[in-house]
Amino acid sequence: MDDISGSGGNDNGVHVNGHSACEGGRRKSCWYEEAIENDLRWCFAFNSILHTGASQYHNIELLDTKPYGKALVIDGKLQSTERDEFIYHESLVHPALLHHPNPKSIFIMGGGEGSTAREILRHKNIDKVVMCAIDEEVEDFCKSNLAVNKEAFCDSRIHLVINDTRAELEKRGDYFDVIIGDLADSIEGRPCYQLYTKSFYESTVKPRLSEGGICVTQAGPAGVFSHTEVFSCIYNTLRQVFKYVVPYAAHIPSKADTWGWVMASDSPLTVGAEELDARIERRINGENRYLDGKTFVSASILNKAVRKT
Amino acid sequence: MDDISGSGGNDNGVHVNGHSACEGGRRKSCWYEEAIENDLRWCFAFNSILHTGASQYHNIELLDTKPYGKALVIDGKLQSTERDEFIYHESLVHPALLHHPNPKSIFIMGGGEGSTAREILRHKNIDKVVMCAIDEEVEDFCKSNLAVNKEAFCDSRIHLVINDTRAELEKRGDYFDVIIGDLADSIEGRPCYQLYTKSFYESTVKPRLSEGGICVTQAGPAGVFSHTEVFSCIYNTLRQVFKYVVPYAAHIPSKADTWGWVMASDSPLTVGAEELDARIERRINGENRYLDGKTFVSASILNKAVRKT
Amino acid sequence: MDDISGSGGNDNGVHVNGHSACEGGRRKSCWYEEAIENDLRWCFAFNSILHTGASQYHNIELLDTKPYGKALVIDGKLQSTERDEFIYHESLVHPALLHHPNPKSIFIMGGGEGSTAREILRHKNIDKVVMCAIDEEVEDFCKSNLAVNKEAFCDSRIHLVINDTRAELEKRGDYFDVIIGDLADSIEGRPCYQLYTKSFYESTVKPRLSEGGICVTQAGPAGVFSHTEVFSCIYNTLRQVFKYVVPYAAHIPSKADTWGWVMASDSPLTVGAEELDARIERRINGENRYLDGKTFVSASILNKAVRKT
Amino acid sequence: MDDISGSGGNDNGVHVNGHSACEGGRRKSCWYEEAIENDLRWCFAFNSILHTGASQYHNIELLDTKPYGKALVIDGKLQSTERDEFIYHESLVHPALLHHPNPKSIFIMGGGEGSTAREILRHKNIDKVVMCAIDEEVEDFCKSNLAVNKEAFCDSRIHLVINDTRAELEKRGDYFDVIIGDLADSIEGRPCYQLYTKSFYESTVKPRLSEGGICVTQAGPAGVFSHTEVFSCIYNTLRQVFKYVVPYAAHIPSKADTWGWVMASDSPLTVGAEELDARIERRINGENRYLDGKTFVSASILNKAVRKT
């Protein structure tokens, strides 16, 4: 059926009103809805589904959301959004690289989206980045559809390997200055002790770190209540394996929560805010939007509620 | 970030579970939501937005919904769905054509979607169908994207005119056996007296009907409460212009309501159920899914609550 | 925290605006949401939860909804609403009672809400109504909270029995002119063959009908697609037990669907529209809002799509 | 209608399943929904509306939500929840009181909920707390319904005044060691420059501070994007009025955002983390759940994105 407005030529004003009312945003027809918990929903209006894909393991979608721009959704879980992924990726990458005196070789466990590689490549002294993802289709999807990371995917220092992370680390003979864990933790029914085990860090990750090497991993939600899900567990695991462990956190708007990371090493991780700023200035191309010396200092002092657990 | 499941090769079972849980439908991320009334919402999970378009007048979307298949949405209002549009279009087209002794020429006011033309063309005795829609882009969108109507759009008996309905009817000199109103009534702030006026039917529509001609129009929701919006108003308008007026109604699942149509003529509209069935048998190619003689008889007896208004 | 508007005495206008905007309905905070199907939601804004209760078997809620007034919800399924329950209850009760030449004694299977009893008691010739519900708490909840049925619950002709329907019918020695099934069918995982079995109607219900007695039951959704859930099944079951079986249907707005009932007897069920109207006039106190002779005739002619299944 | 389960005595297992499925949380019927932005929704399942009220200015509701316990909603905006209000109120009250050498008299602008008073009264050296709220009904509602603050409302050191905040401060002749702003900023169309004006702080608030007095106010969302709404504006306003100004922030889960406060004084605000902890130990009864010395130090170092604006 067609719009009845076709029946009269003299009501253009109404046409325009009808149309602009819609444009003005009163009608939001399409919603992306995520059950953050069973009884808690987080919903974005969106304009379109830009791309969809499926691999052996995952369903992948790229949505054009109204509040956060492009959003990557894997298996119905929001992974990151165009508008605020910089908070996650600057926080994941730069603290570890900046705490290392001279990082040249990096191993990314996961990182299929490409943003982690992109942030690493902003460091001038990087020679080699190995990025190990299990799912080639996710890789191809992101390479094709995430314009912001296209350059990173093409950089000659990037070595993309499609393999199981553990298998890849165990078969390699080379060493890395920094190993970065960019693996989702959000699969239901997947208890953290199984996946972030002491033995994995001790026998698989640590042996591949060069002298003074640093390991960092995203560690799930770190909110006043949500940190008990995996953040505390990962922190405690790493403390059993490394001498120095620094947890830190930042609020990510599109996640509706504070997110956590844990950095660990057998060398001390004590670089002050000013020295961090100096290293940022000296080593990183372009300007960070979120992370600087003070931001890291603040991020690495957890609030009492989280610290006590 | 990538899925942590990459870190272990031995947990395929969990993979499969996670994946099939998702496939099994527990996670419905994308919802189309329509505010039927201000405080009443009707929501479909959907898989993808197949096409979007915009014209001078309208935003157009074709969604692939889970409960109703492809759904055409114009300006945030659901127009029709693949799964149940046959109820609307069979009800709109066949009663009027079957009540006419020998309909050869038809004029469609609106009908941009093409389904109305498709149903008309199933009548063997049709010579000419003029379809007058105001919005060329909507037309093009439907022609390109609604596979089910592609044949109809290409039929040589179809004459598509892009023009204002009133202007077109007023400038034409030819006559039609049946004139069908397939115009949406759903634009907010657009009171029905302005658009379905006595003068429009008297001075514009009726003069273009041939001897014994029949006019029919969709007439909006016809539920126990919702019929007062426009259905009663259109019925009363047509009663002032035509000698014989037959309102009828049918429940359309995707509209979450009963829908109404009004058929009118200066010749009697009295064909019994058996004769309707005989004419269906004789005149219509293929088989109706919804409408037959008995269905129409039932549809044209309104319930007490609607009849009294 | 308090509203900052407390800080200025001169902004009453804004206060009023703020308040009336809210009153005017832009902010709908509380929604009742029902998953009609897995991927189809129906949502009412509501003002308050008037009462909640729980029994051994069920959770009960009485909501004050914006579109439909008070709504009775049992175990998260909408049972009926103040605004349109008359459609359901007039359709359930009056056709059977009107088709019987002189119904005096009625048995209600279920009917805990009291509305079925209320409609029965409007018939002047009724002597006895046995109402058999399993759940005393639901009974008490409805008696206390549904003002519209208070009178019915207190009527001396009503005999309320708390018992299992089958057990009650099997132990009784008396006969009924009409037996009415007002039992929900909506419990998940409860296939209709188990509950609306031929044996139940043959061995339990039919033996308690007096000569010329009529049995009627609500029969679930009867929409073009939804009728296959239970409606067709109940109809086919009753056809195996009774000589004459009449299915009929009506659209219930708050259910977002057409609802079905099946009436059955070993005596012919053939009363025309005029005679129905005459009996309504003669036998029923007060005026029906939905059902009259024509309405029933229309309701009992199913559309082709439903009829063919 | 009643549940069909009444018709069979032998299906208790199914009953129990049906019931526990519901209890187990698959059916969430009632949702509180808040539009955080126009295209961003935050939704809590809830069990019941515990209390509702209305005053001349506001609609008030107390909901029992599943994820956050009791939630106070004023005019459709979530004010605070039982489960995480401690973050907001500890952050609002303790930093200012702890930075003051010996706070004895406090003035609360707003604070109708009572939680601010409750936190203040935990300080042993407090003599007098004046709490000035405009809306007596909100006051009565909270006093009656928020059990956690009942004691505070009854404490003899609390002086509750129902008056416009500005009018009250301007007519008083006494001085306060700390003045706390606990006023919502969330009324639509209410630009912050109108309400948090320089003149208000300069001419109304500051004159009522005793020597060395400190003023603190909640300052709205302080997220990476949301801080530009009011937080930056309030900070800049206070910088024009006071010599020392300290903004700080904390993530509040039920708000789905980071929240901000600004503390200001003409005396230096430089107490280190250890001294803060010592003062907490010495001065505050009971134990803080969220705030300690380190938490405040971290909270008062804003991230680069917020700091730069």
Query: D179 vs chain C: nearest CA distance in angstroms?
Result: 14
Share above pLDDT 70 across residues of chain B, in percent, rounded to a whole number: 87
Q: Say what the pLDDT of residue C104 is.
A: 97
Choose from A180-184, A282-286, D141-145 the range with maximum mean pLDDT: A282-286
Count interface pairs A-D at CB distance under 8 A: 135
Report whether C293 contacts C275 (CB < 8 A).
yes
How many whole angstroms separate alpha carbon B85 and alpha carbon B97? 18
C-alpha dihedral, B96 to B102 to B107 to B110, nearest 10°: 30
Residue window 227-256, chain A: list those with CB within 8 Å of chain B. Answer: none
Q: Looking at the domain that runs over B11-81, which CATH code has it been given?
A: 2.30.140.10
Say if B304 is an interface residue toward chain C (CB within 8 Å): yes
The H helix count followed by the E strand count for chain C is 12, 13
Please give the pLDDT value at position A77: 86
Tell me the CA distances in angstroms from C251 to A201, B236, B302, C257, C258, one per residue in order.
63, 23, 12, 6, 4
The sign of the torsion formed by the CA atoms of B289, B294, B296, B299 equals negative
What is the DSSP code (8-state) at residue B301?
A: S
SS (H, E, C) A147-171: HHHHHHHHCCCEEEEECCHHHHHHH
Q: Give the pLDDT confidence score for residue A98 in this predicted structure.
A: 98
Q: Which two tokens stand for residue C51?
A: 């009462």
Q: What per-residue confidence (pLDDT) applies to D28? A: 67
pLDDT in tens, C220-249: 999 999 998 889 989 999 999 999 999 999
Contact between A288 and D304 using a beta-carbon 8 Å cutoff: yes
pLDDT exceeds cutoff 80 at C133: yes
* Calpha distance B262→C306 (Å, rounded): 23
Residues 103-122 of B with CB under 8 A from A: 109-113, 116
**Range name among B240-244, C105-109, C219-223, D152-156 with the lowest pLDDT average:** D152-156
Give the Cα separation of A161 and A110 in Å (integer): 10
The pLDDT value given to residue D59: 82
Helix (H, G, I), strand (E, B) or coil at A204: helix
Facing B166 at nearest CB: one of A7, A32, A183: A7
Supply the mean pLDDT for chain C.
86
Q: Answer whether residue A295 shows pLDDT above 80.
A: yes
Residues in chain D: 309
For the stretch C249-278, pLDDT in tens is: 999 999 999 999 999 999 999 999 999 999
Contact assessment for residue C119 and residue C89, using Cβ atoms and an 8 Å cutoff: yes
Tell me how close the Cα of D42 comes to any Cα of chain A, in angstroms. Answer: 5
Closest-CA residue to B109 (of B94, B128, B129): B129
- Which of B7, B132, B171 is best to mutate for the A interface (most A CBs within 10 A)? B7
Work out how many CB contacts closer than 8 A connect B with C.
Answer: 135
CATH number of A10-81: 2.30.140.10
pLDDT at B66 over 80: yes
Q: What is the DSSP letter of B284?
A: B
Chain B positions in Cβ-Cβ contact with residue C229 (cut-off 8 Å): none
Sorted by sequence, the CB contacts under 8 Å of residue C202 that are 6+ apart come out as C240, C241
Contacts of residue B67 in chain C, CB cutoff 8 Å? 37, 39-40
If one compares C22 and A252, the residue with the highest pLDDT of the two is A252
The answer, yes or no, to whether residue C102 has pLDDT greater than 70, is yes
Query: In 3D, which of D204, C132, A152, A75 has the Cα closest to residue B14?
Result: A75
D183–C218 CB contact, under 8 Å = no
Higher pLDDT, B259 or C138: B259
pLDDT confidence band for B134 (50 / 70 / 90): confident
pLDDT of residue B28: 66
B residues 44..83 contacting C (CB < 8 A): 44-45, 65-67, 83
**Would you call D305 an interface residue with chain A, using a CB distance cutoff of 8 Å?**
yes
pLDDT in tens, B202-240: 999 999 999 999 999 999 999 999 998 889 989 999 999
Contact A9 B167 (CB under 8 A): yes
| Average pLDDT estimate for B87-109 | 97
Lowest mean pLDDT among A111-120, A203-212, C171-180, D193-202: D193-202
Q: Do D9 and C59 touch (CB under 8 A)?
A: no
Instruction: Pick the catalytic residue from D84, D177, D182, D257.
Output: D182
Domain with CATH 3.40.50.150 in chain C: 85-308
Per the CB < 8 A criterion, the answer to whether A114 and A146 are in contact is yes
C:154-173 residues touching chain D, CB 8 A cutoff = 164-167
Find residues 196-215 of chain C whose CB sits inside 8 Å of chain D: 200
The CATH code that applies to domain D85-308 is 3.40.50.150
Higher pLDDT, D6 or A203: A203
ipTM over 0.95: no
pLDDT band at C126 (very low <50, low <70, confident <90, very high): very high
Amino acid at A221: P
Q: For position B27, what pLDDT does the model report?
A: 52
Q: Is D37 on the interface with A (CB under 8 A)?
A: yes
Weakest mean pLDDT among B47-56, B86-95, C158-167, D24-33: D24-33
Determine what percent of chain C is predicted with pLDDT higher than 70. Answer: 87
In this structure, are residues C70 and C80 in contact, taking their beta carbons and an 8 Å threshold? Answer: no
**Burial class of residue B115, CB neighbours in 10 A (0-12, 13-18, 19+):** buried
Mean pLDDT value of segment B248-270: 96
Mean pLDDT of chain B: 86
Residues of B taking part in catalysis: 182
C183 CA to chain D: closest CA distance, Å?
4
pLDDT reading at A26 higher than 50: no
Mean pLDDT on A260-283: 97
pLDDT in tens, A87-133: 999 999 999 999 999 999 999 999 888 999 999 999 999 999 999 98
Query: Given CB atoms, is B27 within the 8 Å cutoff of chain C?
Result: no
User: What distances in angstroms separate CA D139 from CA A11, C26, D110, D157, D160, one per listed residue?
Assistant: 52, 26, 10, 17, 9
C-beta neighbour count of D72 within 10 angstroms: 25
Q: With an 8 Å Cβ cutoff, are B14 and A79 in contact?
A: no
Q: What tens digit of pLDDT does each residue of B13-31 get?
A: 222 222 222 333 345 689 9
Residue D27 pLDDT: 52
Question: A127-141, A212-226, D87-101: which range is least confident on average?
Answer: A127-141
Q: How confident is the model at residue A245 (pLDDT cuts 50, 70, 90)?
A: very high
Name the DSSP class of C303.
-
In the DSSP assignment, the letter for residue C196 is S
- pLDDT single digits (tens) A37-88: 889 999 999 988 888 888 777 888 899 999 999 999 888 889 999 999 999 9
Q: Which of D9, D33, D57 sits opposite C3 (nearest CB)?
A: D57
Average pLDDT, chain D: 86
Mutate to test the interface with D, among A29, A40, A295 (most CBs of D within 10 A): A40
What is the band of A230 on the pLDDT scale with cuts at 50, 70, 90? Answer: confident
Instruction: Please state which of the ranges A4-18, A240-254, C233-247 shows the lowest mean pLDDT.
Output: A4-18
What average pLDDT does chain A have? Answer: 86
Chain B residues in contact with A60 (beta carbon < 8 A): none
pLDDT in tens, C53-98: 887 778 888 999 999 999 998 888 899 999 999 999 999 999 999 9
Question: Can you give the pLDDT at residue D195?
Answer: 58
Q: Which one from C177, C182, C185, C257 is the annotated catalytic residue?
A: C182
C-alpha triplet D140, D143, D145: angle, nearest 5°: 100
Q: Do B292 and C304 touch (CB under 8 A)?
A: yes
Per-residue pLDDT at A296 exceeds 60? yes
Report yes or no: D184 at the C interface, CB cutoff 8 Å: yes
CATH 2.30.140.10 occupies which residues in chain A?
10-81
The residues, ordered by sequence, that sit 6+ positions from A278 with a Cβ below 8 Å of its Cβ are none
Contact B90, B259 (CB under 8 A): no
Indicate yes or no: CB of D57 within 8 angstroms of CB of C5. yes
A31–chain B nearest CA distance, Å: 5
Contact B2 A164 (CB under 8 A): no
Distance from CA of C297 to the nearest CA of D (A): 24
Mark yes or no for CB contact C290/B304 under 8 Å. Answer: yes
Q: Range with the lowest mean pLDDT among C54-58, C151-155, D264-268?
A: C54-58
State percent of chain A over pLDDT 70. 87
Nearest to C133 among D2, D18, D27 (CB): D2
Give me the pLDDT at residue C107, please. 97
For the ranges B110-114, C204-208, D24-28, the one whose mean pLDDT is highest: C204-208
Phi, psi torsion values for A38, nearest 5 degrees: -60, -35
Per-residue model confidence (pLDDT) at position C75: 82
pLDDT at D296: 97
pLDDT at D252: 96
Interface test with B, best of C34, C41, C64, C284 (most B CBs within 10 A): C41
CB A147 within 8 A of CB A50: no
Question: D184 pairs with which residues across the strands?
Answer: C3
Q: Please list the residue range(s) of chain C that carry CATH number 2.30.140.10.
A: 11-81
Beta-sheet pairing, C59-65 with B176-184: unpaired
A-chain residue closest to D259, CA distance: A251
Helix axes C273-283 and C85-99, enclosed angle (nearest 10): 100
The catalytically annotated residue of A11, A64, A84, A182 is: A182
Q: Give the model's pLDDT for residue A54.
A: 81
pLDDT surpassing 80 at residue D1: no
- Is A88 an 8 Å CB contact of chain B? yes
What pLDDT is stored for residue C297 in this prediction? 96
Residues D144-150, mean pLDDT to the nearest whole number: 83
